Amino acid sequence: MKKLTSTLVLFCIMNLTQAQNPFLGKYTTPHGTAPFDKIKTEHFEPALQEGMKKQMAEIYAIVNNPEAPSFKNTIVALDKSGALLNRVQSVFSNLLSAETNDDLQGVAEKMMPLLTEHGNNISLNRKLFERVKAVYSQINKLKLSKEENRLLQKTYDSFVRNGANLEGEAKVKYRALTSELSKLTLQYGQNILKETNNYELAITDKAKLTGLPESVLEAAALTAKEKGKEGWVFTLNAPSYIPFMTYCENRDLRKELYTAYNTQCTHDNEYNNFENVKKLANIRLEIAQLLGYNNYAAYTLEERMAENSNAVYKLLNQLVDAYKPTAEKELKDVQDLAIQTQGPDFQIMPWDWGFYSNKLKDQRFNINDEMLRPYFELSKVKEGIFGLATRLYGITFKKNNEIPVYNPDVDAYEVFDKDGKYLAVLYTDFHPRAGKRAGAWMTEFKGQWKDNGKDSRPHVSLVMNFTKPTENKPALLTFNEVETFLHEFGHSLHGMFANSTYESLSGTNVYWDFVELPSQIMENFAIEKEFLNTFAKHYQTGEELPQELIQRIVNASNFNVGYACLRQVSFGLLDMAWYTRNAPFDGNVIAYEKEAMTKTQLLPVMDNGCMSVQFSHIFAGGYSAGYYSYKWAEVLDADAFSLFKQKGIFNKEVATSFRENILSKGGTEHPMKLYKRFRGQEPTIDALLIRNGIKE
């Protein structure tokens, strides 16, 4: 046998390593889904490095193409570049949110600055931008389709908005700022996850837990068992925290848990986020001003339906004026109820609101979560929501155990269109665990695009943190969790119905204040009798949800609607306060936050509580200067659903129009054009006010 040279040995080792890395070969899984059964943490770094290397080779080929710049050889070639990197990054970033651990976070800390630098190397490539600009200069002469025109405009704008026109020191500064931003957003989010996971309220005396329903106690006992403890353990995860604050009669314990929740990342430890908040706000401001904008909101809103901060504040102030009198009346009603049992000097505090407002709701409507929970068994809710999509759009779902998943909790479904053709893969991930951040979201492991006549379909994921099954009962959801499921499922429909040529314009790649329309419109079905009748059955007896209870759900649907609206508006105002600043911030975060939210505050504010240090949406989640989007889209969804109400909530003609004009179009046209094509008119706030009972 010949002796191998050291170079050949190294070459063989590298080839063997690449062959063993599942990202670097062809996926043999159903529909080319991610091979989670083979992916290990150590695969990410080399795969990301290889992805960056391949994309830079593709960029080099575009830049050095001897042919004159054209839409195809520059804009389309750029849009298609980075396929491997996108494939790896989609898995990597999604697992960081849904299935993270210290090792994966270590990879992220190392790779995020490199990935940011890679992105900068593309957006700041002078020769590449010159080619893009050469094509863009002909935009009015080229015979492009609407989608092609949109891609060209978006590509050019993206370069400009990512520093392509910067020179010299400004370009160096931009690179440094974006690199620091990627590190800080990662650190900010990790701090919240660790603070959440590190807290527990352990109780061994059941007498302290008076008022808590048996289902909540069972869940807390299961948590204690999983942690190797006696008694009951409550955490800051929503399925534990919310029922505790709603039902626990022990006011001191409610205050303790509320304080723990609202002081996350404020403590004198390594997870404190005060400095991160300042740095994140200031870096975004500096980036915006470097690019020629007064503040970060001006930069962000340029690509939103709202267009500018004046329009955002106009909406938020309209909502405050419309809803505050109702909210103040709601607070007085809850306060009066509390006084009946606690005496005339009792004052409602934030940790009392959930408890006493629930008592008032029960008194008025004789309805609460525990009364409804037995009828909302998770598998039945899933059948109902999947069935709703079947009834509206004709699509069907088939579980496929051959599709690998990243956690045993996750299920994978093949989704088929009304003609039987494969439409998408849908992953569902319902329950909290240590490696998953709080909240609920829809994301993608693969987008949709068309190439050479082939329609490459998306792989969509629904991630939530619902009430877990216990040793004695299946997962029984609260009504709010049913609404959350509907909301995120609406996002998934937006992704699954994607029908664009270019991935960057496909599915949910739309303006942030439009992306919530497909999700929020689905929430409307939660109080529709015809929908509830299709699935809401008692998990033990099979008895259908009584019509009387359904009517109570409908009657209670606007309970405390004013308070809920002001709460959302307060978050929008806080977001805008951070990002309409024209000067750097170096003050007291808590004091600044209180001032920003003053006009919406109804209850006394806890001295040391702070939202900003745990407000992932606006500091680490893409909603910077965009949290108003939820209320903006609520105006849209109320107006849009009024058409379903007018024609019938299962009306196929309306559903088909919504699919064709909203869900399938992605970002191929301006959202207001798409909305008007569906609705026949621009939206007004009136439908929302009527739906909420604020206006007749």
Residue 247 pLDDT > 70, yes or no?
A: yes
pLDDT tens readout for residues 210-221: 999 999 999 999
Strand partners, 233: 202
* Mean pLDDT, residues 472-490 taken together: 96
Quick one: what percent of the chain has pLDDT higher than 90?
Answer: 94
Q: What's the pLDDT band for 696 if we cut at 50, 70, 90? A: confident
* Mean pLDDT, residues 320-347 taken together: 96
Ramachandran angles phi, psi of 460, nearest 5°: -105, 145
Neighbours of 210 (CB within 10 A): 10
CB 362 within 8 A of CB 555: no
Residue 10 is predicted with a pLDDT of: 42
- Report residue 502 as tokens: 């270019």
Residue 37 is predicted with a pLDDT of: 96
Residue 564 is predicted with a pLDDT of: 97
Residue 282 pLDDT > 80, yes or no?
A: yes
Cα gap 188→191, rounded to integer Å: 5
Residue type at 129 in one-letter notation: F
Residue 14 is predicted with a pLDDT of: 45
* Mean pLDDT, residues 93-105 taken together: 96
Taking every pair of C-alpha atoms in the chain, what is the biggest distance, in angstroms? Answer: 96
CATH number of 6-165: 1.10.1370.40
CB 91 within 8 A of CB 39: yes
Cα gap 477→534, rounded to integer Å: 16
Start-to-end Cα distance in the chain: 91
Cα gap 458→663, rounded to integer Å: 14
Residue 6 pLDDT > 90, yes or no?
A: no
What is the pLDDT of the chain when averaged over all its residues? Answer: 95
Domain ranges in the chain are 6-165, 199-262, 373-511+518-540
Cα gap 390→561, rounded to integer Å: 31
CB 404 within 8 A of CB 34: yes
The reply to whether domains 6-165 and 373-511+518-540 share a CATH topology is yes
Residue 5 is predicted with a pLDDT of: 52
Residue 15 pLDDT > 90, yes or no?
A: no
Determine the 3-state secondary structure of 394 from DSSP: coil
Active centre residues (catalytic): 488
Residue 2 is predicted with a pLDDT of: 41
Burial of 311 (0-12, 13-18, 19+ CB in 10 A): middle
Q: Which residues does 531 contact at the CB level (< 8 Å), separation at least 6? A: 384, 388, 525, 649
Q: What's the pLDDT band for 695 if we cut at 50, 70, 90? A: confident
Residue 17 is predicted with a pLDDT of: 52
Residue 652 is predicted with a pLDDT of: 96
- Report residue 441 as tokens: 């979201």
- CATH class (in words) of the domain with range 373-511+518-540: mainly alpha
pLDDT tens readout for residues 46-86: 999 999 999 999 999 999 999 999 999 999 999 999 999 99
Nearest Cα residue to 456 out of 151, 38, 93, 87? 87
Strand partners, 476: 377
Residue 8 pLDDT > 80, yes or no?
A: no
Residue 19 is predicted with a pLDDT of: 61
* Mean pLDDT, residues 107-112 taken together: 95
Residue 200 is predicted with a pLDDT of: 96
* Mean pLDDT, residues 375-403 taken together: 98
- Report residue 28 as tokens: 């043999």
Cα gap 677→251, rounded to integer Å: 53
Residue 684 is predicted with a pLDDT of: 86
- Report residue 636 as tokens: 């849209």
pTM of the model: 0.92
pLDDT tens readout for residues 507-565: 999 999 999 999 999 999 999 999 999 999 999 999 999 999 999 999 999 999 999 99
Residue 103 is predicted with a pLDDT of: 96
pLDDT tens readout for residues 140-162: 999 999 999 999 999 999 999 99
pLDDT tens readout for residues 155-183: 999 999 999 999 999 999 999 999 999 99
Cα gap 29→51, rounded to integer Å: 20
